[in-house]
Amino acid sequence: MPAGFSALDFYYILPELLLTGGAMVVLLLAVLTPRNDNLLLGVSLGTLVASVLSVSLFSGLDVTAARGLLAVDSFAAFFKFIVLLSAGLTMLMSAPYLRVEGLKAGEYYFLILCATLGMMFMASGVDLITLFIGLETMAVSFYILAGFLKPNPRSNEAAVKYFLLGAFSLGVLLYGMSLVYGATGTTSLQGIAVALSGQSPSMVIVLAVVLIGAGMGFKIAAVPFHMWAPDVYEGAPTPVTAFLSVGSKAASFAMLLRIFVEALPAVAADWSALFWVLAVLTMTLGNIAALTQSNLKRMLAYSSIAHAGYLLIGVVVGTERGVASMLVYLGVYLFMQLGAFAIVVAMRRSDVVGDELKDLGGLFRRSPAAAFMMLLFMLSLGGIPPTAGFMGKVWLFGAAVDAGFVWLAVIAVANSAVSLYYYLRVVVFMWMHEDAQPGSPLVFGPAMTVALGIAILGTVVFGIYPQLLFEQAQAAAGTLEGFSATVALR
Amino acid sequence: MLDAYIPVLLFVLVAIGFAIFTLMVSSLVQSSRYNRVKLEPYECGIEPVTDARDRYSVRYYLIAMLFVIFDVETVFMFPWAVIMDELALFGLIEMLVFLFILVLGYVYAWRKGALEWA
Amino acid sequence: MDFIWLIPLLPGVGAAINGLLGIRYFSKVLAARIACATMGAALLLSLVAFLELLGLEHREHVVTLAHWIPPIPLETASGIGAFEVPWAFRLDPLSGMMILIVTGIGFLIHLYSTAYMDHEPRGGYVRFFCYLNLFCFFMLTLVLGSTFLVMFVGWEGVGLCSYLLIGFWYHKQSASDAGKKAFIVNRIGDFGFVLGVFLVFYTFGTVDFREVAEAASHMPVEVAGFGVVSAICLLLFVGAVGKSAQIPLYVWLPDAMEGPTPVSALIHAATMVTAGVYMVGRNAVLFEHAPMVMTVVATVGALTALMAATIGLVQTDIKKVLAYSTVSQLGYMFLATGVGAFAAGAFHLMTHAFFKALLFLGSGSVIHAMDEEQDMKKMGGLKYYMGTTFITMFIGAIAIAGVPPFSGFFSKDEILYRTFLSNKWLWGLAVVTAGMTAFYMFRLIFMTFFGDYRGPGWKHEEHGGHAEEHGHTWHGPHESPRLMTVPLMVLAVGAFAAGFVGVPAALGGGNAIEHFLEPSFVATSASHAGEAEHAVAHLSHGAELALMAFSVLVGLAGISLAYHLYVRRRGQADRLAANWSVAHRVLLNKYYVDEAYGATAIDGTMASARGLWTVDRRVVDGAVNGAGWLTRALSWVSHVLDKYVVDGLVNLVGWICQEGSYLFRRVQTGLIQNYAVATLFGVFAFITMYLVARYVGV
């Protein structure tokens, strides 16, 4: 074994190894056995569960592995749980969707597992190269997934757009990373922090901050790097959109926090200002654009952009508490966003596409259960108690006020008020508008029921009993290094 | 320092010499009856100069992509082979794992019919 | 003792099982067994916990189950505080006593209900037990909660269950109206309670009872002024007034008798309505620092006791008499807490739970026997038909009348004694009330069980087939089944004996319960423990005995008057009523309070709505019309301005909006090149921003 590596390193990447193995098994099953969607779903979910269990093996650890390429800490674990859970929910809601669309389940699940693998490396990488490889693994999987509806021109368009713009933004990101490497001579996040400490930041580093910020801003769909999001979200298969808006976003936030908080605390004031502007632009534009959308998926895309804006508040604040609040919000966002998308997926039936707002007309009369669940998700996204969305917003905005970013909090609250308009418009459609053309009845199969059940449970339980999530988030934020420098600067 | 490149120089000289030698020998022995086909750079395979808007099978892309993947694999094996001694058994196992994953992709492509032309 | 969180949870689990599965699938027997088993288990656990509590030196045990609300920064009087609430339960003497009452009496009433509710169809039967269990879950949460917020969860929960159970027979208009009335009146009280909790957090920065008590004990007693502690206490008391049915919010309790009788016994006599008293006792330290509010509490209590007792004198519905009696007895408890005798109030709470539950269950047995008849005028002579019910109810009546050595005597006498020390006027009211209590209780006993039978006739069994027709036809008054009489007997024993834990010193006892409960009413610091004791003036044992004898005499006078009027010289009562017809009518109509509320609060709301509508039509519309005329007059002038200035401005704004929206839509073209340009534009904009900041120096 080469120097610096040990058998322990393989133990530490057990969750990732399990995912890799599971993905290969799924791919082989897809070509070597007759088509059996349930088996493939079972194996994929089993892989995720095994990975979750192995992640929990390392709870409480705070070490680096593989010669300082990977960190095994609570921060990584938190994000791994989030991406694994969102992958699981995505798969569960995909099962009926694949059947309706007649898509190949094997490749689909394989790609989701690969994307999840990339996200996990983004969560635990503490080296620019590791992070970049993770990002690429995730991105390439998503390029294919976005175009998975082969006969659908919109889906193809989404894939091509996402690929070209993704490649472009990765170029920007790499440019930034190379500048950092040039200035410090290392790609290790800790090494960068050490090299930059104690000297006044050069213009090169500030330039790198902007470039990396732009590259990551693309991934989290922050304005003005968000242009791809509405088109891709609308064109991609709905479960993929859901996964893109939750899993990919969460992992990108993990990477963003790792790079900026751990490696660049020396220029904290600079990137804090950058993200302040990004956050305000993102939430304002996202919400205003969402107001007039008539397509449900497109509306949720803009809503997801707005949520990225809220989440950025945590980065702007940059303190341990800010990050913890942001993690709480991410955890909450996972349930409500995936739940809302699950309803949109359920609306897709053999004879109805169901992603237009008017398709929801009179849903309350046709399927009260679906309408009530959608109501809950919309209230949560809008931040109305007693749902989880409210608790998340309370902390996030509270953290901003606490750290002295009062104006940011005011803008965010005003934005939440604006957002209620379009969230409640969905409710108005479901309750008060005349029936849409009926189509075949909404059916919730077992997989969809489980997915919706988990989403509802999360949305309600964390609204009433948020402590559970909060403790995890606090522990996770606690293991992120570099806060002391941030605080010292302020 | 330049001394180190002397073997390379020798190698280049020998290569050039061999080429000249073969061409000369062949020009001495061959019969010279030219026609259109004979004068093309490659006597078999693709037309070198055609209209750019020509249609050809999409399978070229598939094959080409698969070729690139397996070609890159081979490229990766060169540096590995150079330090094979240092890496020892661990390196061998690593490379076997790498190859296994590639073979998996190969099996997938095969089963999917990507290698069949018709 | 860390298991105390299980005590509320067990009935909760029972409710969940019966609610989620039972209503659809379970048989009556199975549902009843689940409900009774969970309550029985909770009772056992409570007993164990209580015994362990006796062994603790500090008499307090807090179990923090989990953190519930993680810290939220909120403004308090002393800067930004953290609003943080754990799910914590606290077992101390007061809550220990309460859980025994709730689980003990709750268990008996569950047993009783299995027989009492037997006529219900299966679904309703299971639903009833689900609600009953749910109530116990919330009630136990209420008493065990160690913070205001956990208590509030229970507080609202029992209100909900009360609403559900009062309106249990929802197809009856009066029942569903009564449920709504209870709920709405309680909301008024809850509003005060919530405001009180807000103020507690604002003042002390915590909502934990113990911490609040600690902090309050270091504050000065607000003797002269009306400070923040007084405000808190007054607001909390508003909540207690709603929940415990005191003036002016008592109106819901008599109507609540529309619910099934076991519900009246459990919720509206023994447990939920005492939550207000419990809450005041729980915050004894706070209230002791607000003497003005204490006076208010005592006065409201005494007046409620008197007023409800007078109404009870003339009611003829057996449950209504008991309902007003409950209101009156709750007034007693508030009187006790108001004069600072928190332990005496809690003591009376306990004895009252026994004898009032007994009386309610007994009345249920009577109603059952009389085929759902509740009017005492149509009863009489029932002691020949239902001996057990008669004897047990008689014991209950003696207990509430305050005849020694029954339980009511000790607790009531302690209250009277402490009131006498504090305020002679209130004592006078309380004594009068005691006399009335004895009178109306024995009026109830005599009208129901003595004299001639005045009810409807019935078919004798020899006619018609007995087997098929049972359940459809009524065969005359009969003793209730064992499942109903056994709880009566157990409660009768309690009603007799429960007072012996509080025998006062003057009678040679040690007043054990007062010493036992004392730690719950003081802040932890030991120095305060004796303070309350010393502050109270003492009378000699002789004087105390004289007071006791006097109150017993008053009670006996009430009993003998009832005997005189309703047994010896029947008809005398009617003559009296005829002679004092005005007073009688006023009492019979409960002082017309419901009518007064109807005429003021309810009609007032409606009238103001109508008034606003009229104003809207007359004034606003008139103004609009006037403005219209004025506008027409001015329109010629404005026409010119309009055309050139206003239109121009409006069009400008519209134009800007439209162009902005077009701009926005033009940006989202769908063309990749443009998107990439936007990204690049963003990058360059930010770089420019930094360059400017750095080299121009902003």
pLDDT tens per residue, range A83-113: 999 999 999 999 999 988 888 889 999 999 9
From A176's Cα to the closest Cα of chain C, the distance in A is 11
C103 pLDDT above the threshold of 90: yes
The answer to whether the beta carbons of residues C442 and C569 sit under 8 Å apart is: no
Residue ranges of domains in chain A:
7-488
Q: Does C678 touch chain A (CB under 8 A)?
A: yes
* C-alpha–C-alpha distance, residues B82 and A308, integer Å: 48
Q: What is the DSSP letter of C499?
A: G
Contact A165 C682 (CB under 8 A): no
What value, to the nearest 5°, has the Cα angle with vertex C217 and ends C216 and C219?
65
Q: Does B112 touch chain A (CB under 8 A)?
A: yes
Mean pLDDT of the region A258-283: 90
Hey, is A265 helix, strand or coil? helix
pLDDT value, residue C477: 80
Higher pLDDT, A26 or C532: A26
Question: C62: part of which helix (H) or strand (E)?
Answer: strand C61-76
- Torsion angle of C-alpha atoms A76, A80, A82, A87, degrees rounded to 10: 160
* C-alpha–C-alpha distance, residues C666 and C689, integer Å: 25
- For residue C370, which amino acid is it? M
Hey, is C644 helix, strand or coil? helix
Contact A465 C66 (CB under 8 A): yes
Of C682, C689, C691, Cβ closest to residue A214: C682
Contacts of A471 in chain C (CB under 8 A): 67, 70
Higher pLDDT, A202 or C634: A202
Mutation site for A-interface testing, chosen from B108, B110, B111, B112 by largest number of A Cβ within 10 Å = B108
Closest residue by Cα to residue C433 from C419, C448, C447, C449: C419
From A256's Cα to the closest Cα of chain C, the distance in A is 17
The confidence band for C502, taking pLDDT boundaries of 50, 70 and 90, is confident
**How would you label A306-327 residue by residue, b for 16+ Cβ within 10 Å and e otherwise?**
bbbbbbbbbbbbbbbbbbbbbb
The confidence band for C451, taking pLDDT boundaries of 50, 70 and 90, is confident
From A438's Cα to the closest Cα of chain C, the distance in A is 31
- Contacts with B29 (C-beta within 8 Å, 6 or more apart), sequence order: none
Q: Maximum Cα–Cα distance for chain B, whole Å?
A: 60
Contact C694 A467 (CB under 8 A): no
pLDDT value, residue C607: 78
Q: Give the model confidence (pLDDT) of C475-486 as tens digits.
A: 778 888 888 889
Contact A31 B111 (CB under 8 A): yes
C463 pLDDT above the threshold of 60: no
Contacts of A170 in chain C (CB under 8 A): none
Q: Give the model confidence (pLDDT) of B25-68 as tens digits.
A: 988 887 777 777 777 766 666 666 777 787 777 788 888 888 89
* C-alpha–C-alpha distance, residues A166 and A398, integer Å: 34
* C-alpha–C-alpha distance, residues C436 and C438, integer Å: 5
A488 pLDDT above the threshold of 60: no
Tokens of A69: 């390429």
Of A1, A24, A27, Cβ closest to residue B90: A1
**How would you label C132-152 residue by residue, b for 16+ Cβ within 10 Å and e otherwise?**
bbbbbbbbbbbbbbbbbbbbb
- Contacts with A347 (C-beta within 8 Å, 6 or more apart), sequence order: A296, A354, A355, A359, A360, A442
Q: Does A31 touch chain B (CB under 8 A)?
A: yes
B and A adjacent (3 or more CB pairs under 8 angstroms):
yes
Three-state secondary structure string covering C273-304:
HHHHHHHHHHCHHHHHCCHHHHHHHHHHHHHH
Integer-rounded Cα radius of gyration of chain A: 21
Question: B53: part of which helix (H) or strand (E)?
Answer: none
Q: Does A28 touch chain B (CB under 8 A)?
A: yes
Closest residue by Cα to residue C109 from C259, C314, C248, C234: C259
Chain A nearest-CA residue for C69: A467
Alpha helices in C598-620 (DSSP H): 603-615
Of the ranges A166-175, A480-489, C388-397, which one carries the lowest mean pLDDT score?
A480-489
* C-alpha–C-alpha distance, residues C407 and C417, integer Å: 16
The confidence band for A489, taking pLDDT boundaries of 50, 70 and 90, is very low
Q: Maximum Cα–Cα distance for chain C, whole Å?
A: 113
Mean pLDDT of the region C535-563: 82
What value, to the nearest 5°, has the Cα angle with vertex B93 and ends B90 and B96?
150
**How would you label C252-275 residue by residue, b for 16+ Cβ within 10 Å and e otherwise?**
bbbbbbbbbbbbbbbbbbbbbbbb
Question: Among positive and negative, which fits the CA dihedral A228, A234, A237, A240?
Answer: positive
pLDDT value, residue C468: 43
Contact A165 C676 (CB under 8 A): yes
Of A2, A24, A32, Cβ closest to residue B111: A32
Contact A210 C668 (CB under 8 A): no
Q: Give the model confidence (pLDDT) of A379-402 as tens digits.
A: 999 998 889 999 899 989 988 988
The confidence band for C527, taking pLDDT boundaries of 50, 70 and 90, is very low
pLDDT value, residue C655: 67
Distances (CA, A) of C374 to A297, C318, C661: 63, 6, 73
Contacts of A32 in chain B (CB under 8 A): 107, 111
Of A218, A231, A394, Cβ closest to residue C679: A218
Hey, is C130 helix, strand or coil? helix
* C-alpha–C-alpha distance, residues A45 and A450, integer Å: 12
* C-alpha–C-alpha distance, residues B25 and C38, integer Å: 107
Of A210, A401, A402, Cβ closest to residue C686: A210
Query: Angle formed by the axes of helices C482-497 and C407-422, to 10°?
Result: 40
* C-alpha–C-alpha distance, residues C359 and A45, integer Å: 61
- For residue C71, which amino acid is it? P
- Torsion angle of C-alpha atoms C604, C606, C609, C611, degrees rounded to 10: -60
Q: Give the model confidence (pLDDT) of C355-401 as tens digits.
A: 999 999 999 988 888 887 888 888 878 888 888 889 999 999 999 98
Assigned fold of B2-111 = Methane Monooxygenase Hydroxylase; Chain G, domain 1 (1.20.58)
- For residue C389, which amino acid is it? T
Chain C nearest-CA residue for A162: C672
pLDDT value, residue C653: 61
Mutation site for A-interface testing, chosen from C690, C694, C695 by largest number of A Cβ within 10 Å = C690
Report yes or no for ipTM above 0.85: no
β-strand partners of A64: A71
Q: Give the model confidence (pLDDT) of C637-653 as tens digits.
A: 767 766 677 677 767 76
β-strand partners of C279: none
* C-alpha–C-alpha distance, residues C148 and C155, integer Å: 10
Q: Report cis status (omega within 30 of 0) of the bond before A224.
A: yes
What is the distance of C-alpha C391 from the center of its chain?
Answer: 30
Three-state secondary structure string covering A118-158:
HHHHHHHECEHHHHHHHHHHHHHHHHHHHCCCCCCHHHHHH
- Torsion angle of C-alpha atoms C472, C477, C481, C482, degrees rounded to 10: 180
C664 pLDDT above the threshold of 70: no
Hey, is C254 helix, strand or coil? helix
Closest residue by Cα to residue C243 from C321, C187, C324: C187
The confidence band for C654, taking pLDDT boundaries of 50, 70 and 90, is low
Q: Maximum Cα–Cα distance for chain A, whole Å?
A: 70
- Contacts with A474 (C-beta within 8 Å, 6 or more apart), sequence order: A324
Contacts of B86 in chain A (CB under 8 A): 2
Q: What is the DSSP letter of C147?
A: B
The confidence band for A487, taking pLDDT boundaries of 50, 70 and 90, is very low
Closest residue by Cα to residue C276 from C162, C106, C397, C180: C162
Q: Give the model confidence (pLDDT) of C608-630 as tens digits.
A: 777 777 777 777 777 777 777 77
Contact B108 A31 (CB under 8 A): yes
Q: Give the model confidence (pLDDT) of C115-133 as tens digits.
A: 888 888 888 899 999 999 9
Tally C-beta pairs within 8 A across A and C: 78
Q: Does C687 touch chain A (CB under 8 A)?
A: yes
Alpha helices in A403-466 (DSSP H): 406-432, 446-464
Q: What is the DSSP letter of C521?
A: G
Average pLDDT, chain C: 83
Subunit partners of chain B (3 or more CB pairs within 8 A): A
The answer to whether the beta carbons of residues C252 and C177 sit under 8 Å apart is: no
From C652's Cα to the closest Cα of chain A, the distance in A is 21
Q: Does C688 touch chain A (CB under 8 A)?
A: no
